[in-house]
Amino acid sequence: DGGITQSPKYLFRKEGQNVTLSCEQNLNHDAMYWYRQDPGQGLRLIYYSQIVNDFQKGDIAEGYSVSREKKESFPLTVTSAQKNPTAFYLCASSIVSRTGLISNSPLHFGNGTRLTVT
């Protein structure tokens, strides 16, 4: 079955350490995204990528970094510069329409990684 795999489901780190969250998809989607969700909040866009070797900052990119070396993979690194890293991180993917627009394409989400930094 096609889908998006995020690992691990739970992650614990000490303050000051960088940590990388994995996201892999086998849906053959061109676009991939990282969102952060805090309790009782909506999803906030961290980074997104519409094509391999290219990515764009979202609304809250500070303290995060990404890479897109392969179509299937879009890992997110939470750096020590991120002031409040404890959150639920969701990866998603979508197609890019023939017009190049991704706005109207449904997002397919992974099951998320819950990161706790102490």
Binding residues for another protein (CB under 8 A): 33, 35, 40-45, 48, 50, 56-59, 90, 101-104, 106-112
The SS3 call for residue 112 is coil
CA distance 9 to 41: 20
| 59 conformational bin, left if phi > 0, alpha if psi -120 to 50, beta if neither | alpha
Nearer to another protein, 16 or 42 (CB): 42
How far apart (Å, rounded) are the C-alpha atoms in residues 96 and 105?
7
Using the minimum distance from each CB to another protein, give the nearer residue, 43 or 71: 43
Provide, rounded to whole angstroms, the least separation between the CB of residue 104 and another protein.
5
Shortest CB 10 distance to another protein, Å: 11
